[in-house]
Amino acid sequence: MNTNHNPHILVVDDDPDIRDLVLEYLGNNDLRVSGACSGREMFECFDQQAIDLVLLDLKLPGEDGMQLARALRERANVPIVLLTGRNEEADRVMGLELGADDYVTKPFSPRELLARVRAVLRRYQVQATLPERGGARRAFRFSGWELNLRTRRLLAPGGESVDLSNGEFSLLHALCRAPRQVLTRDQLLSMSRLHEAEVYDRTIDVQIRRLRLKLEPDASEPTLILTERGAGYRLDSDVQTLY
């Protein structure tokens, strides 16, 4: 199974039994999952990986769940589903007012939790197709690949990390910002800022060749980064943007 196509869920709960139950259930239903037991671990994971949705327990020991939700919302436009106690109506209302997208009360049915997670993800996927989304981009996903803009890491469809030079990263970033559009060498030089180091058109050709060696099954017959003769290059893939 190609796991890089699947949304990545971060489960934040200090109770290892609940956390492991959720991780196992979601993982068995075509979702990528990571776990954290504290706010510090949550932000560390969030900064290192491209997360599609956060499941956040509001009652972490010694931490203010509302403050964590607020800080997470300020950091990125990531979906947040709260885990709360059944009698904590005030917390649920406040969490929604802070920008959380949904909540699930404990004890909960894993099946209901999965349904709510999928519903929230669907809403965000629809929003992602709208033009001029606000906020800073966190990652691009295309054809099973994932380019994390915070860590400058490229993950292969199988999850392996692929090293990129600064020039390769900048050029791939530029191509991902304009998927299926033909970009001239001048446009790529400007968008990737390679002109600050090297000003020759052939710089682009060298970087493209190196990217193809890392991205394409057969770099001599590319299927992702295509050449438009006399015009430039284009990324021949749909691209999902995470904000």
CA gap 71, 75 in Å, rounded: 6
pLDDT at 194: 52
pLDDT at 232: 93
CA dihedral over 111, 116, 117, 121, signed as positive or negative: positive
pTM of the predicted model, to two decimals? 0.73
pLDDT at 131: 45
CA distances from 232 to 42, 60, 183, 204 (A): 42, 52, 5, 10
pLDDT at 62: 92
- Which value, to the nearest 10 degrees, does the dihedral of the CA atoms of residues 206, 208, 213, 216 take? -160
Domains annotated for the chain, with CATH where assigned, are 3-128 (3.40.50.2300), 139-242 (1.10.10.10)
Residues 6+ apart with CB under 8 A from 13: 19, 22, 35, 37, 55, 57, 60, 83
pLDDT at 132: 47
Nearest Cα neighbor of 208 from 187, 234, 231 is 234
Buried b or exposed e, range 166-197, using 16+ CB within 10 angstroms: ebbbbbbbbbbbebeeebebebbbebbebeee
What pairs with residue 142 in β-bridges?
145
pLDDT at 53: 96
**Mean pLDDT in runs of 10 for the chain (243 residues)?**
72 95 96 96 92 94 90 87 81 78 90 94 67 69 94 91 89 94 87 54 81 95 94 95 87
pLDDT at 94: 81
